Structure formats: structure tokens, C-alpha cells
Structure 1
Amino acid sequence: MEFDFEAELSKLTREELERLAKSMMTSGVALSFHGKRSAMQIAKKVRPRQTRREPKLHVGSPEAQSKNMLIEGENLQAMVTLYKYRGQVDLIVTDPPYNTGQYFRYNDRWDNDPNDPELGTIVSSEDGSRHTKWIKAMMPRLQIMKAMLKPSGVLAICIDDNELFHLGMMLDEVFGEKNRLAIINWQKAYSPKGGKSVSKTTDYVLVYAKDKGLAKMDLLPIDRSGSKNIDGDDSGDWIPTDPSARQNREKTAYAIQSPFTGNLHYPNGEYEYDGNLPEARAHWVNFTKAEAKKHLREWGVAYVEKDLGDGRGNALVLSGSSVALEGYNPASDPVVQLAAKKALERREKGNWPKLFFRDDRKRRPGAGRPRLKTPIDVVRAGMIPTTFWDEEFYETPADVGSVTWPHAQSGHSDMAKKELDEIVGKGHAFDTVKPLRLLKKIIQIWCPDNGLVLDPYAGSGSTGHAVLELNMELEADRRFILIEQGAPENGDKYARTLTWQRLHNAVTGKRPNGKKAKPLGGGFEYRLLTKTIDAKTVLTMQRDELIDVVLTSHWENHKRSAPSLKRVDDESYQYLVGLDQNEEGYFLIWDNGGPVGSLSLDTYKKVALEAKKASIEPPFHVYARYEMFQSPNVRFWKIPDKILADLGLNENDEYNNEDERA
């Protein structure tokens, strides 16, 4: 369907026309599509939902459960319901459906009522309006994602080439082109497939900041456990680093002859003198040929350049050696024998040259591959995310820009599927999983150690798994919120099957067929979105329903992003229902067999007695219908007003704080 510009223009308000004109004047380029006006406004029509906790699906200790969430439900409705986290998320990393004609569904009724629960039919690749439908589904979700982020927050969204350009234009419009941080090109496949077209071996991650001036980019951590000073280096501890990079550059892909063995080392492997050269898939980095020659001469032997006829740059070989690609045996070369003697003597003195030769698998001194000594003070906080991860370490971060992440650094699709198979078993039929290495890398760069990560398209739960793994590896305290609807049209709401199983097994160490792995620890709450919520709904809830809503929605300005309240499951308490991170008590006044009660002198006395029994100090947070008694020990929360406010509604069930939704 063609875009009727005049018809759509006539529907715009003055404010909308001004915003459109400003956008056109500042950016000069705008994405136009049929139904754009309604798509831009649809998020404001979404109603928050009642959230029901599912205790049987919680995993971990009560404290661990309160930190993380797995929510079963539609993601637009879920993000609206998570009003307490509006403006509190550090990083959104997500993987929406790619509109390939296999997974993306669209319900035409969403154009007018986003609260319609039906998913709609699969949008086929032959559907002439498939791009428009995908854009109309994504636009309100991107708007809500932006609202969920902190001022310093970052969105990293995975995509393939089907919607890459449309997504980029939407992000430019919602976030602003000036807030684009990176276009990451990651290697999803490590071998090309045959065919008549260019083989697709890469996908993309578009990274945008809510405000580029406030966003921070952390260096990637270096594992310093390998730091050492086995040679007594005067500069102190150092890390052995591989001086080769996976890129074909003939001039810097030359051979280096070892002074210890006489063997030829290429960037991608050792030459066995059998006529089979290592593939030209790598080159030497972090030193020039002149620097390499200088470092090699420091082993007490002379080096010269020699053309070996291997199609690479001139090799660095021992001066006077008869080395050749064929018919040569280093063990019978007297130059090599003399060089080995001098190199071993130099090794014994310690404080080795910067370019050294590691021990081989048989632990023969210097018989292994070339390595560089990288001083620990040069490593500093880590390495910057840049085009190639083997480049020099830098003191300060640089702009990422458009970069390529090879599979050795970001993982690949086959690896991701194997990771999922290993933790939940085969037969899950989930093929769009992302590798943990890719997600962990994104999280390390753009989420602080104690930050909050949101994934509105959780899929198999890879993002949550990555957070748990990073927390264990780096002793961090990141939290996650995952939202997944699953495939209810197939009778599988896999939020409670595949997604839950993966996270459960990651936390506990459980594996298929009774196997065990090292538990990652942590935990999460499982929540289910149910009916829409308003004042009438709140006042007619049963006690357990109301407790769930209080525990999941409560927030205060000074601790808005704090973990959820921990439920107190003890039938001996009539009013005590939860505790916060500071062990402050939350009480719900409920008449036995009746509706929500009021705070009176009598009910306050029961609250005080229950607080004493539970060793809880004031203030006491009390939820009730009316406040008929006041005490300096009580922070009173009126029902339904407090609950509605915590969900972004006012007393008339209309949205408040509209500015925050933009």
C-alpha cells in the first residue's frame, strides 16, 4: 500500500506538524510509511497489566530472586507495566524478529488497539506490506525502550540485512543520529556457503545512546591471572600476548626463524618443512619488521631478511643459515646449533627481550611459538573495543564507529546453538539464538558492574545467561529483566519452558541427562502478565493478587531502581507481606474474609506486634484503603492510589508523567 502523504498530513495536530518540520530541518531525512502517525502514538494507548508472581517458577534464594525477573507476556505491555523501571535501565540488549518470513507475526488490530492479546499471523516474505508491518510493530517498542533507559543508558539491538536500513532510520528518528555509538558487524558464520550470491556470514548490532554525551564505554577486561615475571623483568609483571592477527596482509605475513630450534614460524602456524605452508590468514602485529629484527638480535644472534619464495614478505632468518622451504633440516644446520646455544644462555640471564619464544608442549625452553611481553601497567584497565581486538592497548576509549568483530571475539551462530544444546538438550527447535560471547562483550562495554540489563525479546534467555556468567567471572552484580511471550500459537509459551529452563540450569548447574556443571549462582522471579489494571480491578482483587501487585509495583523516588520487595510467606502473619533491601517491612491491611481494610488504632497495634515478632524496626510501610490513625512510625500508602501511581496511572486511570513516555 502506497503512503498517502496528503491524507496523513491533514490528520496531524499543530504540535505534530512542528515536530515533523523540526525533524526535517535538522536531519533532512525522515522515514515515511503508511500508518506512521498512529504508530508514533500507539504506545500511549497500551494499558499496564496485573503482574502475578509464579512462586513455583522462582529460582534461587529470596534475595537473589528479588534482583532479576523473567516476565511471561507481550513486551510492549510488559514495558508499560514496568513503570517503576522507567529511566532506570543501563543497557537494553535485544534480538527482535528479523522479518525473514518465518517468525515475525503481526495483528492488524494493533494499529488501533495495542492491548489486543492476539499475536496475528506470520508475515510471509511475499507480503507486499511486510516492511511496513515490521516498522509499525517496532516503532512504539523503540519509543518505550528509550523511555526505559537512564539518561546515560544505551540500546544495542541485533538485526540482519532484511531490516537493517529501516531499523537504522527508525533509531535515527527516535534516538537521534547524533546519539549513534556503533554499527557492529559480527561474524555469525566462519565459513562461506556456496551459491550464486554473496554468502551472508555477518549480522549487525546497532548501538545508540539516549544521550551520547552522558553514555560511558568501558574497556574490555583483561584476564590478569596470567601475568607473571618469570624472567625477572626490571619493569615488573607482564602478560604474554599473541603478536598475530587474523587478516591476510602479505608483507607482514612473513616467516620468523626461531633461534632455539631453527623452525620457521608464520603468523598462523609453524612450518613443518613438508611443503605445506600455513594458510595466509594472518599477519604479525604490534611491531614493525625493523623492531622484530632488533628484538631477535637481542637473543645474541644475527638476523637477516631472505626471500623464501613463499609468496609472503621477506623472512627474518638466522644470518648464514641455509634455511629453505624444501630439503632443509634445522637439526643439522650448524648456524642453528650455535644460535640455540647463545639463545639458551641469554634466556638463563633473565630479563628477556620483548619478543620471546614460549616453551612447547613438551616444556622444552624456547621451543614454542613467538610471543610478546606486554607490561601489566601498559594493559591498564583493559582493551578498547575497536576494529580488531588484537591491536595495541590504549589508555583511553575511542569511538567505536563501524567495526567488525570476528567470530573468535564474538562467537558465531553454530557456537550459540551448541551452547543452548549443552544447557537444555537438543530438540528445542530454537535457531535464532545469539552466542554468549557476543552478548557478554556488549554488556561489558556498555553496562556498569552493578547495572541493570533489559531484554524485551528474551528468546532462549541468552542475555540473562550472559549476565549470570559475567557476574560469576568478574564478581559483578549486574541485574536483568527478561520479557518473553513465546509461541502460544503453537501451545508453547516457552518463557516457562525453554527460557526458564536455560536460566534455571545456568543458576543451578543442572544439565540434561543428569549431568552437572558449575552453578553460576544468582536467581530470578518469574512473573506472568494477566488482565489490564485500573482502580476497579485493584479494589476487587483477592488478597494474594493484591500482595503480588504491591510487591512487584512498589517504588519510591530515592530507591526507584532497587530490586523488588521480597515476599514474606508465613501464615502466622496477618498483615506483613514483604521486606525491602533495607529489611523495612511492608504491611497490607486486609479484613478477614473481606476487602482491603483501613489503618486504625487496632490494626496499627497488630502491625506493631508483627513487626516486633519479625524484628523489624520503623518505618512500617502500610498499604490500606483509608488512614484513620496516624503514627510517626508509619509510611502510609493508599489503595488504589499508590498502586496506580506506581504503574504510571492517576486516579482517573489515565496516564500521568506523559513526558517520560517520549
Structure 2
Amino acid sequence: MLKTMMSGGVVLNFHGKRTAQEIDKKVRPRQTQIIKKLCVGTQEDQARNMIIEGENLQAMVTLYKERGQVDLILTDPPYNTGQYFRYNDRWDNDPNDPELGQVVKLEDGSRHTKWMKAMLPRLNMMKAMLKPNGVLAICIDDNELFHLGMMLDEIFGEENRIAIINWQKSYAPKNDSKHVSTATEYVLVYAKDKSLAKTGLEERTDGMNKKYRNLDEDPDGAWRSSDATVSTPSAKDRYAIQSPFTGELHYPGSRAWTFPKKSIKYLLEQWGSDFVEVDLNDGRPKALLLKGSLIPKTIQRAALDNNPVVSDQKIMSSPVIAAAKSEAEKVLKKGTWPQLYFGDLGTGRPAVKRYLNQVKKGKVPLTYWAADEYDEILEIGSQSWDHEESGHSQSGINELNSIVGKGHGFDTVKPLKLFKKIIHLWCPSNGLVLDPYAGSGTTGHAVLELNYEAETNRRFILVEQGSPERGDKYARSLTQERLKRVITGERPNNKKNSPVMANPLGNGFQFRMLTKKIDSKTVLTMRKDELIDVVITSHWENGKRGGSCLIRVEEHGYKYLVGKNEQNEGYFLIWNGGEQVGQLDTETYATVIQEGKKAGLKQPFHVYARYEIYQSKNVIFYKIPDKILAHLGLNENNDSFNEEGDE
């Protein structure tokens, strides 16, 4: 901290920061139990998405195979308004404690410190979960905006800040302040490495496309007039060009021509006359003049900077200009004008035709989306999104009410439009979205709806603990229920049942619950169904962490077969028929081969067992508990495999 300050840097310091920075390194992974009755969809669909019920820091540590595999983290943490944020004082000494703690009231003098102590280790883990080109988009209001921004600057680096989005949460003034009515909240967007991250484009509107016409029946299709100059001038491209219609000399002013000189000459000659380079002694590079045209005797350089058009009656009335005008008007009348043209009548400034089929299939995200058209993606910086583009808070609540009914008690719902927009901008069409503060499940809903509308293939992981002390675990009663209903199309009605009333979005998810800390003793004392869950949820192959999802095999009649991967290779768990893991020997190997053939699976077969007595080139062996612990990020050289598990 001192080194940073002495070198001119800015450091955020608060009581307990040192401890908070180390907490995520002390959290141990936990056993995950699949709750089958809460899963939705086929086994293939369930393998794609998941809801995890449990403490989010412990969940992210447990998701070791997804570390470095997430494209976008989109999340809405508690805002520390005295109503929702909870802090467990025991986290300072034992970050593995699963309890949420008490609500931190506005009167608590240390409420900002507690909020930062809770957020810092989670932000560190979020960064670790992202791909090198991944992006974090985190919602916040003015209570902790500045503290969160400084923590993100410190963790991600100020240079990796992509945007501060100011979105309109309401469109009517409220009597919530005697000074200024609060109508906006914020989304802070940071890249793990801004040089690798990409910002997408919003979908084009019909209004944008209507600006493109085809006045000259150009076979390349509709086009619109665009400036023939660029705002980043290059000295060699700041010269005069002569109009083949009027003979006037046109300068780019303080700008530069958008095309190289060779291309400008080619486009000018498409109007039917030859052009040559001529030195006008105007302090600029050689001009492009009609061949044989008279050269102005004096051109005031000072005048050129203020007036980009120079007229000379003697030149304009010359036979060379008359002949050039005649040829140019023939091209104008015939149609399919050159890309560099001089207006509909030939009397205007040089302009460029921009074709609709060559522009990007979208629009650049700018303030209030009022931009016209751009050829390059711009950095969006600090932006404002009005409610027409981002939705508003009441629409988020109305959306939730329409799906699960009223009375859910969850009144901090972000609008679906806002989350869909963020996902569209910063998650690729086949990417993975993580939300460690899932709440009502808006992130998962947005992913499902985008997949349905655009036939994309995005996946989601949602983490939500809920409020068990109030008898309401949101992960089950709200997050799971909402996503189940948008997948199936079920909606509530006055008869308190849920008939299908909306278009089902399809897809599915797996519902997992975090239980006790995991170590070698825990693994070796698991029941068979518990161990199968751990194998299915933790397995990954070298180079295939996030993309190596196992599909559970539920059919009866198999003794050892428990799953398969996307390559249709079988996964087997050797169980000795009693209460413990068995070994791979000639007898169990024969059964594995038999079951693999029966299920139509490809080799090699992947076998989990306690010991390997028999070896075969057809089998990849995973030793229990070592391989399971390794898949959870535990290393026997620096982790205590035999640590006592809690209940």
C-alpha cells in the first residue's frame, strides 16, 4: 500500500482489508448434492446450466473447473441500504462459516467497512473465474458506488474499466428525498484484460436502415451519404481536389480525406476525365486537378483553413471544365455513381457512399442510443441508458409477478431488458454467464430468452443462498421457480395453479446444494448417490474445464455406469456392493466393458475407483479420493486432505 501511494497511486484502505484480501484463499470447496426434484429438462439440458444453493464465495471456490472459463459475470449484490445486506462477523476468522449473519442497519457506523470486507474476497474470486477476455458487469446504487469503483480499480486496474453505465430505473419523480429525486442506478463494467475484451453491437433498428436509399440504382444496394473526411488528419491526405462538375477546389479543412490519394484519383476519374497531381504552392501536398486545367496563380493558405472551397471564375469557365462537366453529367444521368460523389446534382461538397450491406449488423452503444451510424466500435465510457433502452425497476417487478405471482416479497428486481442488453454486449453467443448474487434469477431468464430469440447457445451458472432464517430459501422458492416457469411456459392464474400460458423457452438446468466441506475422509465415507453427484459435478479433463460437462445416466440395469461426456465416452464408478468404493480388477473391468457396449458408448471408458489392480489401454483410471480432490482444486502437497469435515 505504501509503495503504491509513494509512486503516486491511489489506494483504498479500511479496517480489516488485509484479512479480507486473504479470505478467499482460506475457503475450502464443499460437497455439492444434486436435488433431482428441482432439476428441469433432459439430462443433456441439465448439464448445460445450473443453480447452486449456498454461500456464493464457497460456491465459486467449489466451481474450480469453471475457474478461468467464464465469459461474463453479471450480478446485482446487496446495496447496503439497511434492508438486505447481511454480514457474519465470524467470517473474519472462519470464512467457511455458511451463515449470512445479521442485517447491517443504516445506523451501524461500520456498515461501509463491513460491506467492503464482504465484497473484496468475492470480487477477487470473480476475477479468477473470468476468461482472459472476460468481463464483469456489477450493479450498484449511490450508497457504495465510490467504494465499489475504487475496489474494482484496485483489483482489475483502472485501465481495464470499460464503462460506467447510468441506467434510468424510474421515469417519474418520487418523493424520496427533500433535495433530488433518485431516478438512476449504475452498472460498473470492467474487463480482466481490456485489450482482449470485445464490446458487441446492439441490434439495428428499422429507423436506422431507412436512412439508406438507392438514388442511382446502384447494384450494391442501398447506401447513404457520409463525410468524405476523417477527424484524425494525416498531413499527406490534406490536399485539394477539383470537382469535375464545377472546377472548384475542395479541401478537407482541418481534417483529411478518408481514402488514400491513389483511391481518390481512381474514384474521381470514374466521372469520365483524367486527373493529375499538381503543386499549387498552398503549403499542402500536391492537389488532384483535371488534366489540362488552369492553375490558380494565388491561393491564400489562411483562407483555405476557414473556407474548404476555392472558386476561380477563370478556371471554372475554361473549356477543360466544360468538357469534364459534360462527361460527369452523363455518368450522373446514367446512374451507379462512383463511391466519391458531389451530391445529387453534382454541385455539392465531396461525399462518400456508405452501403448498408457493408456496415456492421448493429449499432454502437452510446449515450441514450442516439448515435447515427459508425464503422468502428467505440469505447462507451460513462454512459446513460434511458428506460426505453434498459427497462426500469417497476418493469422488473412486474415481470417477476407475471411469472411466479404476487406475494414473493422480492422487490429489488432488475428489468429483464437491462440484463439482456448487457449479456448481448459482453457475452459471445456460445459463452458462459455467472451470477453469484442470483436473487430472483433475472440473469438466467435473460440468457434463456436471448437463446430463444436469436438461437444462441449461451449457458448460465446462478448462485443464491436466500434467507433460510425466514423460512424462505429464494434459490428454491423464487430463483428455481421463475426459471422453471419460463422454460415450461407455466404462469399463475386465479385458481392458484399453473397452466401453460406463455411460449416455453425450452432448455433446462441442474439444481445443486452446497453441503459440508470436502476432504479425503468426506469422500471415502460418502454414500453411492452422493459420490455420483460429486463425480458428475466436479469432473473435468485437461484443457476442457468449463466445457467438459458430464451427462448423467439414470437408466436402471447398470451396476457401474453413471454418466457420459459429449463425445459419448462412458464414466463408471466402481462400488463394491456394500458401503464403500471398490477397485478396478479383472472382474469389474469385464462388467465395465459389458455395460459400455450395452449403452452404445465409445472407448476409452473413464473409471473412478479406490485402487487399480487391472490396467487396460481401453480405460482411463481416476483414483478416489485423489482425483476428485484434484478436480476441486485441492493439491495434496499444500492442502490437508484429511481435515475433519463439518456437519
What is the TM-score of this pair, normalised by structure 1?
Answer: 0.74
Q: Is the 8 A contact 1:151 1:214 kept in 2?
A: yes
Distance 1:225 1:85, change over 3 A: farther
Secondary structure of the equivalent of 2:452?
A: helix
2:128 paired residue number? 147
- Does 2:95 match 1:110? no
Distance 1:219 1:605, change over 3 A: same
Among 77, 83, 91, the residue aligned to 1:96: 77
Deviation at 1:376, TM superposition (A): 3.3
Among 616, 624, 644, the residue aligned to 2:609: 624
Deviation at 1:185, TM superposition (A): 0.3
Q: Is the 8 A contact 1:382 1:393 kept in 2?
A: no
Secondary structure of the equivalent of 1:138?
A: helix
Question: Deviation per CA, 1:634-655, whole angstroms, max 9, x where unpaired?
Answer: 1111111110011110236718
Partners of 1:423 and 1:577 lie apart in 2 by 35
1:36 paired residue number? 17
Among 546, 549, 571, the residue aligned to 2:556: 571
Amino acid at match of 1:209: A
Q: Is the 8 A contact 1:535 1:651 kept in 2?
A: no
Partners of 1:489 and 1:583 lie apart in 2 by 43
Partners of 1:575 and 1:479 lie apart in 2 by 29
Deviation at 1:66, TM superposition (A): 0.5
Partners of 2:620 and 2:39 lie apart in 1 by 29
Identity %: 65
Secondary structure of the equivalent of 2:157?
A: helix
Distance 1:224 1:654, change over 3 A: farther
Partners of 2:3 and 2:631 lie apart in 1 by 34
Q: RMSD over aligned Cα, in angstroms?
A: 2.4
Among 422, 428, 439, the residue aligned to 1:448: 428
1:122 paired residue number? 103
Q: Is the 8 A contact 1:507 1:520 kept in 2?
A: yes
Secondary structure of the equivalent of 2:584?
A: coil
2:182 paired residue number? 200
Deviation at 1:390, TM superposition (A): 2.6
Amino acid at match of 1:483: V
1:522 paired residue number? 507
Aligned length: 507
- Does 2:196 match 1:211? no
Deviation at 1:564, TM superposition (A): 2.4
Amino acid at match of 1:535: S
Deviation at 1:559, TM superposition (A): 1.3
Instruction: Look at both structures and tell me which one has the larger radius of gyration over its CA atoms.
Output: 2
Secondary structure of the equivalent of 1:206?
A: strand
The worse-fitting range, judged by mean Cα deviation, of 413-422 and 154-163 is 413-422
Q: Is the 8 A contact 2:127 2:156 kept in 1?
A: yes
Q: Is the 8 A contact 1:224 1:239 kept in 2?
A: no
Question: Deviation per CA, 1:225-271, whole angstroms, max 9, x where unpaired?
Answer: 9979999863576699xxxxxxxxxxxxxxxxxxxxxxxxxxxxxxx
Secondary structure of the equivalent of 1:558?
A: coil
- Does 2:167 match 1:182? no
- Does 2:388 match 1:408? yes
Secondary structure of the equivalent of 1:388?
A: helix
Question: Deviation per CA, 1:507-526, whole angstroms, max 9, x where unpaired?
Answer: 11111123510111111000
Deviation at 1:380, TM superposition (A): 2.2
Secondary structure of the equivalent of 1:482?
A: strand
User: How does 1:244-259 map onto structure 2 within 5 Å?
Assistant: none
- Does 2:519 match 1:537? no
Deviation at 1:594, TM superposition (A): 3.2
Q: Is the 8 A contact 2:539 2:548 kept in 1?
A: no
The worse-fitting range, judged by mean Cα deviation, of 644-653 and 47-56 is 644-653
Amino acid at match of 2:91: W
Gap runs ≥5 in structure 2: 225-335, 337-352, 494-498, 642-647
> Displaced runs of 4+ in structure 1, greater than 4 A?
223-233, 235-240
- Does 2:176 match 1:191? no
Q: Is the 8 A contact 1:417 1:431 kept in 2?
A: yes
Distance 1:474 1:547, change over 3 A: same
- Does 2:58 match 1:71? no
Q: Is the 8 A contact 1:229 1:238 kept in 2?
A: no
Deviation at 1:24, TM superposition (A): 3.0
- Does 2:535 match 1:550? yes
2:469 paired residue number? 489
Partners of 2:575 and 2:207 lie apart in 1 by 56
Partners of 1:80 and 1:500 lie apart in 2 by 22
Distance 1:435 1:655, change over 3 A: farther
Deviation at 1:28, TM superposition (A): 1.4
What is the TM-score of this pair, normalised by structure 2?
Answer: 0.75
- Does 2:482 match 1:502? yes
Distance 1:89 1:230, change over 3 A: closer
Question: Deviation per CA, 1:523-571, whole angstroms, max 9, x where unpaired?
Answer: 1000000011001100111110000000000001221111521111122
- Does 2:567 match 1:582? yes
Deviation at 1:392, TM superposition (A): 1.1
Distance 1:467 1:482, change over 3 A: same
Amino acid at match of 1:136: K
Distance 1:168 1:230, change over 3 A: closer
Q: Is the 8 A contact 1:41 1:140 kept in 2?
A: yes
The worse-fitting range, judged by mean Cα deviation, of 61-70 and 218-227 is 218-227
Among 29, 33, 40, the residue aligned to 1:48: 29
Partners of 1:641 and 1:586 lie apart in 2 by 17
Distance 1:618 1:416, change over 3 A: same
- Does 2:579 match 1:594? yes
Question: Deviation per CA, 1:80-100, whole angstroms, max 9, x where unpaired?
Answer: 000000000000000000000
Q: Is the 8 A contact 1:644 1:653 kept in 2?
A: no
Q: Is the 8 A contact 2:79 2:141 kept in 1?
A: yes
Among 625, 629, 646, the residue aligned to 1:640: 625
Q: Is the 8 A contact 1:229 1:237 kept in 2?
A: no
1:348 paired residue number? none
Secondary structure of the equivalent of 2:433?
A: strand
